[in-house]
A and B are shown apart, each in its own frame.
Chain A
Amino acid sequence: MNPILKVDDLLDSRLMARLDRLDVISRKIFAGKIQGERRSRRRGQSVEFADFRNYSHGDDLRFVDWNIYARLDRLFLKLFLEEEDLSMVIALDMSMSMNGGDPNKFDYARRLAMALGYIGLVNNNRVSLFGFGSERIERLTSMRGRRRTREMGRWLLDRTPEGIGGFTDGMRTIALGGQGRGVLIVLSDFLFPDGYEKGLNYVAGRGFDVFALQMLAPEEMDPARHGLAGDLRLIDSETNKETEVTASTAVLTQYRKSLEAYVAGLRDFSVRRSITHQVVETSLDMDTLLLDYLRRRGLLA
């Protein structure tokens, strides 16, 4: 996969054309900041009737149903579903653990963020980007409309992986940041030394429809097939701590079991909190991911 040197490297025109047909959907109906294109649980001024309620003093007389008053001699007020915009938050893991793999996990995450953000912008959703890393949270919030695409691309182009973790702080910031309720897409490998549980707990109860997309490189999925064998001194890219490993058959088997257990643990944790978890191997074609995987997982439609 080509390195990302300019905005067009993040999202080419061919894919952009295919993404125009997609929209971000949410299993939940949220209250938006402004009138948007999707239904809201709040009663509003749309044309779609929702219910009646008794008239109370001070209500807008324009919404009184006069036909019912004529038949029943009582004042009822017509309630309509209000259409609101969708808040779409994309959280990008910028820790050093993302800077690995072939294709590079961080590049892949940036391309995916660009694609998802583009879908959000095209569909007039309110798109916010958060990048979290070691003691830093960078953001680009409240973008709406196709014209913000390039701005979003430049922002992603300027992001670089650095430091360790920061997931918990990042999630807490998003949860408390008043972004409105909407779809939260977390792009990360979820390989955090201090765990992912606390961070996900922050966003799981805040009205977000959370999608946890776990970026894993092919080397992490199957190290033996990608040249990881023999007596190795493995250096953690985040902590620079060394771990000595003799990559024997038994150890590799045990590694796969550990990976499966870790992924299964994250999936179970997510399911219990209504979070959609999806493993994304960075060797997977972006078209396939967007047009097939994420559609089947209910993120895109």
Chain B
Amino acid sequence: MIFLAMTWLAPFAASIVALSTIPPLVALYFLRLRRTRRVISSTMLWKRATQDLRANAPFQRLRLSLLLLLQLLALALLAFAIAQPQIEMGDSQSKRIVFLIDRSGSMNVNDALGDRSRLEEAKQLAENRVRALNSGGIFSGSAPSVMVIAFAKDAQILCPFTDNAAQAIAVIKAIEPTDESTTLSDSFELARAFSTVTNPDKQSTVAGDAPSYELFSDGRIADLSRSVLRGGEQILFHNIGKSTTANAGIGAVAVSRNPDRPDEVQIYARVVNWGGDIFSGDLEVVVDDRLRAVTPKPVEVPPAQEDMTIGIRVPGEIQVVFPSMTLPKGGLVEVRFAKHDALLADDRAIVVAAPPEALKVALVGRGAFVMRSILEGMSLKSLETFSLSEWNDRLKKDPMEPDSFDVIVLDDAMPDDLARGRYLIFHATPINAGISPYGTKNNATAQSIRDEHPLLQYVNLNDIFVSSMTAVAAGGDADVIVESSEGPMILTLNRGALTFVYVTFDPMESDWPFQRGFVNFFANSISWLAAGGSAVADEPLAPGDVAKARLPLGAKEVSMLIPNGTAMPIAVQDPSNISYGPLRTSGFYRMSWTVPNGQSGPTSKAYAVNMNSRIEGRADAAAEVKFATERVAGIQGGASVETSAWPWLLLSAVAVLFLEWWVWLRRV
């Protein structure tokens, strides 16, 4: 809803002017004109001829006169102009405006005007707003400073506070779409950081005027409930997109090889429906650009449901399992809809299936029976078991020893050195990894579980009970995927050369080993950790993730082939720790490199980036955004301009005076 309001900067002055000019003007019309007296023989003929006879009385009845009306109109316009009316946008009075432009995956829905994408619509609206704020020309006051922030999974300042409209418009036009999820809190933090004024003389920080925000989004923002507007901050929500747009997408895809027949793969897909009606459509499986399978009949996904108890919308989901198919080598497996819907990016999901190659795994520590049994049941190239002292001895002899294994399982044991390698760690606290233990907690249950994480595929932690766990404080680069009331239960850390999955409790101190999910978690962890080298399958990345790789020593001419076919060169400093990204759009990426002469080994690594439709697939635009403490209703079609109206009133008054003069000339 467009909210227009008008304020008056000088109403008292306008009142004085109006009272001092309009009554005298009316009085002038009451009073007779001062005329030259002439005695003539007879006025009889003049009386017959003239049109503006006057009565003899000093005052006459006020007659409706076009001239009087025009003069009154001109005076009224002048009085209004002196009052300096301000036509405001919303109730913002800020001199600094932060444009928050959503470029997440859901903004690629083509339901804006003219079948444009929501992002294009948002960019156009933002551009119009910048122009409008600077449209006053010589009559306008100082235009507010504008900051432009594009946000999706993270926020990026495209343009700090500037008065240069052309610069702001240029960066708005340059915003590229992404398929990332949507978070907003980073944007507020960045804007607030730039809104803080520092006094270098007093070495103190003084809060500047709170900026006003203008949010251009479809309102589907994941962390709204964690965002709070501070005192003085105001936000205007430009609602982009239609609230009726439905969408279905592929929430996840997985490829697993049959342990007994490694040439065969099983493909799983999860289809998510955010619409209010049943979704029906065919799914196709394409391997290396060749159609390999189609669902025998259209899959039907139930509609999304409103969960009234927690006040959220729960999408309808079904799991689709395709028949086993042979894939003796690695390949690019794509699951897609036969027909596209509103959001293209989640209509397909890609996974890179690695060739069936066995892993080298080391089990260090006590070597619990359960773990050894699980590892022995996996189709591994080799499994070696070490005590902690044996492992430390090997490390002393060769610090590079961890690189000779694809995954090292530390069962309640922590070696002296944890600088490199990929580890699955149980209970023992990792050293030199920014994880600080601060005690032991008892009787813990899982409370916050990131179901979508590949480690937790087919893992149910809802019923797990842990009698004793180590309470730790995780550093900033750790990624907590399961959390209890007592702290993190499972977390991951990826520093390139060092990657680990850390389970903060001893499985033997819980009922987890008796659940099937423990086996799946173990297998998922081995696969996930091994993904940096040769693995059974690379887990897809999400838009916004960073592609990481450990390349052979001496690798050079590293480049990344991105979905649009462009090869982007990557500067290499340490081949063992290559990262590229974030990968903002979904699709297929391939990192390529060359190895020195005489060396053998792979020269490329594939990455699949899929939009997670469970997070970003909701395509119905929100009518309002609900922050933690308040709700902001959206407006559509842009907002009114906060600008001074007095120049136009003044021009109108001049125009009316010219008109009055013309009318007078016509009369005389």
CB within 8 Å of B: which residues of A? 96-101, 105, 189, 191, 193, 217, 219-220, 228, 230-238, 241-246, 248-251, 254-255, 257-259, 262
Question: Could you list 8 further interchain pairs (A-B, Cβ under 8 angstroms) beyond the known A191-B44, A231-B36, A262-B45?
Answer: A97-B41, A100-B39, A232-B38, A237-B39, A238-B41, A244-B35, A244-B53, A258-B48
Q: List 27 A-B contacts (CB under 8 A).
A: A97-B41, A97-B42, A100-B40, A105-B41, A189-B42, A191-B41, A193-B42, A217-B41, A219-B40, A231-B33, A231-B36, A232-B38, A234-B38, A234-B40, A234-B46, A238-B42, A242-B37, A243-B46, A243-B47, A244-B32, A244-B54, A245-B52, A246-B50, A246-B52, A248-B667, A249-B668, A257-B49
Chain A proximity mask over B175-209: 1 for CB below 8 Å, otherwise 0: 00000000000000000000000000000000000
Query: What is the CA–CA distance of A262 and B54 in the complex, to the nearest angstrom?
Result: 23
Question: Is B56 a contact of A241 with CB atoms below 8 Å?
Answer: yes
B597 contacts the other chain (CB 8 A): no
A101: chain B residues within 8 A (beta carbon): 41
Question: Is A220 a contact of B41 with CB atoms below 8 Å?
Answer: yes
In the complex formed, the residue of B with least CB distance to A242 is B56
Query: What is the CA–CA distance of A58 and B390 in the complex, to the nearest angstrom?
Result: 195
B32: chain A residues within 8 A (beta carbon): 244
Query: What is the CA–CA distance of A189 and B36 in the complex, to the nearest angstrom?
Result: 25
In the complex formed, the residue of A with least CB distance to B50 is A245
Question: Is B37 a contact of A231 with CB atoms below 8 Å?
Answer: no
In the complex formed, the residue of B with least CB distance to A230 is B36
Give the contacting residue for B37; candidates A235, A249, A255; CB below 8 A: A235
CB within 8 Å of A: which residues of B? 32-54, 56, 667-668
10 interchain residue pairs of minimum CB distance: A100-B41, A244-B54, A248-B668, A255-B49, A191-B42, A233-B35, A254-B49, A97-B41, A243-B43, A231-B35
Given that A242-B56, A246-B52, A254-B49 are contacting pairs, would A232 and B41 also be in contact in the complex, using a CB cutoff of 8 Å?
no
Given that A237-B41, A250-B667 are contacting pairs, would A243 and B49 also be in contact in the complex, using a CB cutoff of 8 Å?
no
Query: What is the CA–CA distance of A100 and B40 in the complex, to the nearest angstrom?
Result: 7
Given that A98-B41, A191-B41, A262-B45 are contacting pairs, would A231 and B51 also be in contact in the complex, using a CB cutoff of 8 Å?
no
B53: chain A residues within 8 A (beta carbon): 243-245
Query: What is the CA–CA distance of A242 and B46 in the complex, to the nearest angstrom?
Result: 11
In the complex formed, the residue of A with least CB distance to B40 is A234
Q: Which of B40, B41, B49, B54 has the most CB of A within 10 A?
A: B41
Q: How far is the CB of B42 from chain A (nearest CB, A)?
A: 4
A251: chain B residues within 8 A (beta carbon): 49-52
Q: How far is the CB of A235 from chain B (nearest CB, A)?
A: 5
Question: Is B51 a contact of A236 with CB atoms below 8 Å?
Answer: no
Query: What is the CA–CA distance of A137 and B52 in the complex, to the nearest angstrom?
Result: 37
A234: chain B residues within 8 A (beta carbon): 38-40, 43, 46
Query: What is the CA–CA distance of A242 and B55 in the complex, to the nearest angstrom?
Result: 9
Query: What is the CA–CA distance of A99 and B46 in the complex, to the nearest angstrom?
Result: 18
Question: Is A231 a contact of B41 with CB atoms below 8 Å?
Answer: no
Query: What is the CA–CA distance of A101 and B43 in the complex, to the nearest angstrom?
Result: 13
Question: Is B35 a contact of A259 with CB atoms below 8 Å?
Answer: no
B43: chain A residues within 8 A (beta carbon): 234-236, 241, 243
Question: Is A237 a contact of B40 with CB atoms below 8 Å?
Answer: yes
Given that A231-B33, A234-B46, A258-B49 are contacting pairs, would A250 and B40 also be in contact in the complex, using a CB cutoff of 8 Å?
no
B33: chain A residues within 8 A (beta carbon): 231, 244, 246
Question: Is B45 a contact of A259 with CB atoms below 8 Å?
Answer: yes
A254: chain B residues within 8 A (beta carbon): 49-51
B51: chain A residues within 8 A (beta carbon): 250-251, 254
Give the contacting residue for A235; candidates B38, B45, B50; CB below 8 A: B38
Majority SS of interface residues in chain A? mixed
A228: chain B residues within 8 A (beta carbon): 38, 40
Q: How far is the CB of A226 from chain B (nearest CB, A)?
A: 11
In the complex formed, the residue of B with least CB distance to A257 is B49
Query: What is the CA–CA distance of A250 and B48 in the complex, to the nearest angstrom?
Result: 13
B39: chain A residues within 8 A (beta carbon): 100, 234-235, 237
Query: What is the CA–CA distance of A254 and B49 in the complex, to the nearest angstrom?
Result: 5
Q: Which of B47, B49, B51, B668 has the most CB of A within 10 A?
A: B49
Given that A246-B50, A258-B49 are contacting pairs, would A236 and B42 also be in contact in the complex, using a CB cutoff of 8 Å?
yes
A235: chain B residues within 8 A (beta carbon): 37-40, 43
B47: chain A residues within 8 A (beta carbon): 243
Q: How far is the CB of A97 from chain B (nearest CB, A)?
A: 4
A243: chain B residues within 8 A (beta carbon): 43, 46-47, 50, 53-54
Query: What is the CA–CA distance of A228 and B45 in the complex, to the nearest angstrom?
Result: 14
In the complex formed, the residue of A with least CB distance to B37 is A233
Query: What is the CA–CA distance of A232 and B49 in the complex, to the nearest angstrom?
Result: 14
In the complex formed, the residue of A with least CB distance to B668 is A248
Query: What is the CA–CA distance of A101 and B45 in the complex, to the nearest angstrom?
Result: 15
In the complex formed, the residue of A with least CB distance to B34 is A231
Q: How far is the CB of B149 from chain A (nearest CB, A)?
A: 67
Q: How far is the CB of B38 from chain A (nearest CB, A)?
A: 5
In the complex formed, the residue of B with least CB distance to A235 is B39
Query: What is the CA–CA distance of A222 and B460 in the complex, to the nearest angstrom?
Result: 113
B56: chain A residues within 8 A (beta carbon): 241-242
Q: How far is the CB of A254 from chain B (nearest CB, A)?
A: 4
In the complex formed, the residue of B with least CB distance to A246 is B52
Q: How far is the CB of A265 from chain B (nearest CB, A)?
A: 11
Q: How far is the CB of B287 from chain A (nearest CB, A)?
A: 94
Query: What is the CA–CA distance of A245 and B33 in the complex, to the nearest angstrom?
Result: 10
In the complex formed, the residue of B with least CB distance to A248 is B668
B49: chain A residues within 8 A (beta carbon): 251, 254-255, 257-258
B44: chain A residues within 8 A (beta carbon): 191, 193, 236
Q: How far is the CB of A171 from chain B (nearest CB, A)?
A: 19
Q: How far is the CB of A272 from chain B (nearest CB, A)?
A: 22
Query: What is the CA–CA distance of A257 and B42 in the complex, to the nearest angstrom?
Result: 16
Query: What is the CA–CA distance of A259 and B43 in the complex, to the nearest angstrom?
Result: 11
Q: How far is the CB of A98 from chain B (nearest CB, A)?
A: 7
Q: Which of B38, B48, B53 has the most CB of A within 10 A?
A: B38
Query: What is the CA–CA distance of A228 and B46 in the complex, to the nearest angstrom?
Result: 12
Q: How far is the CB of B662 from chain A (nearest CB, A)?
A: 15
Query: What is the CA–CA distance of A230 and B34 in the complex, to the nearest angstrom?
Result: 11
Query: What is the CA–CA distance of A255 and B43 in the complex, to the nearest angstrom?
Result: 11
Question: Is A233 a contact of B36 with CB atoms below 8 Å?
Answer: yes
Query: What is the CA–CA distance of A207 and B35 in the complex, to the nearest angstrom?
Result: 49
Query: What is the CA–CA distance of A219 and B39 in the complex, to the nearest angstrom?
Result: 12
Q: How far is the CB of A124 from chain B (nearest CB, A)?
A: 36
In the complex formed, the residue of B with least CB distance to A249 is B668
Q: Which of B40, B44, B51 has the most CB of A within 10 A?
A: B40
A259: chain B residues within 8 A (beta carbon): 45
Question: Is A245 a contact of B41 with CB atoms below 8 Å?
Answer: no
Q: Which of B32, B36, B39, B50 has the most CB of A within 10 A?
A: B50
Query: What is the CA–CA distance of A163 and B50 in the complex, to the nearest angstrom?
Result: 25
A244: chain B residues within 8 A (beta carbon): 32-33, 35, 50, 52-54
Q: How far is the CB of A52 from chain B (nearest CB, A)?
A: 58
Given that A242-B56, A249-B668 are contacting pairs, would A236 and B40 also be in contact in the complex, using a CB cutoff of 8 Å?
yes
Query: What is the CA–CA distance of A92 and B308 in the complex, to the nearest angstrom?
Result: 112
Q: Which of B34, B53, B54 has the most CB of A within 10 A?
A: B54
Q: How far is the CB of B72 from chain A (nearest CB, A)?
A: 21
A219: chain B residues within 8 A (beta carbon): 40
Q: How far is the CB of B44 from chain A (nearest CB, A)?
A: 6
Query: What is the CA–CA distance of A134 and B150 in the complex, to the nearest angstrom?
Result: 99
Q: How far is the CB of A71 from chain B (nearest CB, A)?
A: 70
B35: chain A residues within 8 A (beta carbon): 230-233, 244-245
Query: What is the CA–CA distance of A238 and B46 in the complex, to the nearest angstrom?
Result: 14
A255: chain B residues within 8 A (beta carbon): 45-46, 49-50
Query: What is the CA–CA distance of A233 and B54 in the complex, to the nearest angstrom?
Result: 10
Query: What is the CA–CA distance of A268 and B41 in the complex, to the nearest angstrom?
Result: 23
Query: What is the CA–CA distance of A270 and B36 in the complex, to the nearest angstrom?
Result: 37
Query: What is the CA–CA distance of A259 and B44 in the complex, to the nearest angstrom?
Result: 10
Query: What is the CA–CA distance of A193 and B56 in the complex, to the nearest angstrom?
Result: 18
A189: chain B residues within 8 A (beta carbon): 41-42
Q: Which of B39, B46, B56 has the most CB of A within 10 A?
A: B46
Query: What is the CA–CA distance of A237 and B39 in the complex, to the nearest angstrom?
Result: 6
Query: What is the CA–CA distance of A220 and B40 in the complex, to the nearest angstrom?
Result: 9
